[in-house]
Amino acid sequence: MAASSVVPAGSYEGGGYRDREPPPTYDGEDPEMTFRVYEKNVKLWEFETDVPPTKRGIKLMRALSGVARLAVDEMSFEEITAADGVSQVMRKLKEYFLPHLEVSLPRAFEQAVYGAARQSKEGFAEYIARMDRNFTRLSKEGVDLPDSAQGYIIYRHAALNDAQDQRFLVWADGKYDRISVVKALRKLDKVIREKGKSTFMTEDDSYKEESFHMEMDPVLKEFLEDDGLMESSSTCKKAI
């Protein structure tokens, strides 16, 4: 009979070991943007777990990988298995990543204000969510951009083509506060996803010049009626 491999005590699922209370994993990548989130997750895990304090440090260390694991590899057994083992592991990680954490504010500012523009395959909903995350990270660093600044930055990086920009200006009514900008971009997102002859964009992102059939696009029709832009089919074509 073949010797069985040593497996930690715990539950089994599908023939493999499954930790019932796994600590958060962390690889140390992009620490200036990820370490604070990881630190919060560790605190939440400590609050919820029933793992004895003397075993928490080793469980936390085993969940590390990459440069994060290298940062704690020289810790002694006594440090890791002490009652405050988690605190000691986190202290070691903070010391290792301190140079990165000190530049977290400039990095957050760069991403929020000068970050990547919306990509061609990135929908407006995904783009808005990404920008909101950037603003949240910047706020955690102590910088709260005014609502008007957030709105204009979102508009500025939305990468609208000429036709989209014209519709945006009409729907936003010349306003660049966050609420107005997000509302207008979401209208564009709904319109672009509409199917049929009334679809604004072709697969190669060029706009159709053929006649516009309002009955094929009830969503856009409602938007134009709400904004007083559709008095007739000819007026609608001019607005578009």
Who wins on pLDDT, 52 or 228? 52
Cα–Cα nearest to 178, from 201, 146, 210, 224 = 146
**Cα–Cα distance measured from residue 152 to residue 140, given in angstroms and rounded to the nearest whole number:** 21
Span 179-201, mean pLDDT? 73
- Output the pTM of the full model: 0.47
Residue 202 — pLDDT band, cuts 50, 70, 90? very low
Q: What is the pLDDT of residue 185?
A: 93
pLDDT for residue 224 is more than 90: no
The SS3 assignment for 5 reads coil
Whether the pLDDT of residue 72 is over 70: the answer is yes
Tokens matching residue 190:
């709904």
Choice among 8-17, 99-108, 222-231 with the minimum mean pLDDT: 8-17
Q: Looking at beta carbons, which pairs linking 154-158 to residues 24 or more positions away fall under 8 Å? A: 154/128, 154/178, 154/181, 154/182, 154/185, 155/181, 155/185, 157/115, 157/116, 157/117, 157/118, 157/127, 157/131, 158/117, 158/118, 158/124, 158/127, 158/185
d(CA 41, CA 186): 32
Query: Can you say whether the dihedral through the CA atoms of 102, 103, 106, 111 is positive or negative?
Result: negative
The pLDDT value recorded for residue 102 is 67
Min mean pLDDT across 29-43, 54-68, 217-231 is at 217-231
How far apart are the C-alpha atoms of 133 and 124, rounded to whole Å?
A: 14
Please, what is the average pLDDT of the chain? 77
Per-residue exposure over 68-97, b if at least 16 CB sit within 10 Å of its own CB, e if not: beebbeebeeebbbbeebbebbbebbeebb
Least confident of 7-21, 63-77, 79-93, 137-151: 7-21
Q: What is the pLDDT at residue 194? A: 64
If one counts every other C-beta atom within 10 angstroms of the C-beta of residue 150, the result is: 24
Give me the mean pLDDT over the 155-183 stretch. Answer: 93
Between 75 and 226, the more confident residue is: 75
Going by C-alpha positions, the residue among 218, 214, 220, 152 that lies closest to residue 186 is 220
Residue 216 has pLDDT above 60, yes or no: no
With a pLDDT cut of 70, the percent of the chain lying above it is: 71
